[in-house]
Structure 1
Amino acid sequence: MTSPNPVSDPQQRLLLVTGLAGAGKSTALDVLEDLGWETIDNFPIRMLERLVGEPGEAAQDASSASRAPLAIGFDSRTRGFVPAEIIEIIKSMAARGDLDVTFMFIDCKTSELERRYNETRRRHPMAQERTVQDGIAAERELLEPLRRWADVVIDTSELSSNELQSQVRGLFGKEHQAEPSLTISSFGFARGMPPLADLVFDMRFLDNPHWIEDLREKTGLDDEVGAYIERDPAFATVFEQVKALLLTVLPRYAAQGKAYVHVAFGCTGGRHRSVFTAEGMAQALREAGFSPTVRHRNLKSRATDTIEGANES
């Protein structure tokens, strides 16, 4: 058996996931799918060798980068579920040099499983006409050989769904998890708030270039406007504080599996202060290793005293 962390070699990554019904197997598979794994749930384990192919085929596919890591979910409801036979199949697969096999078991205390089934009013798959407690006990006894044999055991008794997702990302997402898609935008408050921004920073405390005649028709993309904004004593301090905040929270968003992050900078008309700040912040984040997309919503809007005056403090 191998380490649960993905590795960069020609072997086909194969993760087998099982556990008690209601413990969180489906949640784990959903996270793996988000991380770029190909996932199949309730797969007949006796067909595993047919799925991955003959020895050598998996390595050839993986080395040509045509195959994503593969996660297979199965449990007591899966056809042909015989733990002793499953262990022998997994042993055979793990012995192959072209496969990198990891076996994960999702466990949970009986009392917590009872609570979950009572809350959802679902019937336990092994309860039949018996109580939930009897069904859980029967399944636990059936699965115990697989639990003892697993490479990775996650007990979800005290975990929320988000905490389980974080654990799976920590174990299997280091090489495959992409950073969130990051957008840095500028906008004008006078023309409405951006509807989907995660973080909004108001730059209207800065001196407004609109009221400088030579700068009014220019934008935050012009050097003269940028120089004027930078002369404001508050700009550098606030810019560094916002940058420090973003460098702190962006990795946390990634760790929580957030796929999209939108950071918006606003000023009155959306043409000067917000544009200059958004451009500068995007460049600072690029230097820190991020890859933001920059959008200026109101850059081409008409500069008018009515808009700027109505919203200046």
Structure 2
Amino acid sequence: MTESLPEYPDLAAGGAVDPDEVTTDLVVVTGVSGGGRSTVARALENVGFYVVDNLPQALMLDMAQLAFEAGGAARRTAMVLDVRSRAFSTDLAGAILALRERGFSPRVVFVDADDEVLIRRFESVRRSHPLQGDGRLADGIAAERKLLAEAREQADVIIDTSHLNVNQLRRRVEELFGGEDVRRLRITVLSFGFKYGLPPDADYVLDARFLPNPFWVPALRDHTGLEESVSRYVLDQEGADAFVNTYAELIAATAPGFEREGKRYLTVAVGCTGGKHRSVAIAEELTTQLRDQRLSAHTSHRDLGRE
């Protein structure tokens, strides 16, 4: 019989832990190879997490209990899983369920990227994919996506790194995990350009293309929606105020329900043609209005600077 657990009778007895008494902040990071898991891990370390890399899924509950017992810095622990971890177990769903049944509340982060981007990343460092074998890179990526399909469905937040550099990805992680109350719904208002494709992680997609395009105004063409001249031009157009106000009220009305259902992250994507003028100005104004309603919101501009 183990003598090291008398302080924690629930754990020692194998019973469930009262979630209200467990202050351990657990993050599970998984995702596709080449998607940026290592950058996410380093960013989590920057905001105070103890990071365990390449942890077998079968040891997740043991690691969570160790973190709980250790206290201190270990109370914020991130477990990073990749395809090598699956050599010991492929039941990520079962491992997450086991954590929740013991009173822990893990947040699952899935790091993703487009296939073409992943191929370019592997080719740039002259590495083969872990599941490639004797086939092509694309074969390894497809095999891994099939293995990770269930994990992606379970994720609390999906971070698409296709158009993010290392610093942008680090900032995104720090914004998500850097110290606000983890129970609050965190809203990312993401501007994008439709010509570059829809954001795959969007919960809401707003289309700002009904507004006149500043691109066709010579004095505004080379400026962005972050600048006052462009912002005022966009927001002064007929229907712009109603558009922003309506969506701000909709998001504010649904936010409490999302929080009750356990959703922690909401991505509101605002699109225009190129992601430079209208969507940027609208995203900034929408974020301001959401903050005015005491919601945790920040902006991210996916395609700004691509033109």
Larger Rg: 1
TM-score by length of 2: 0.49
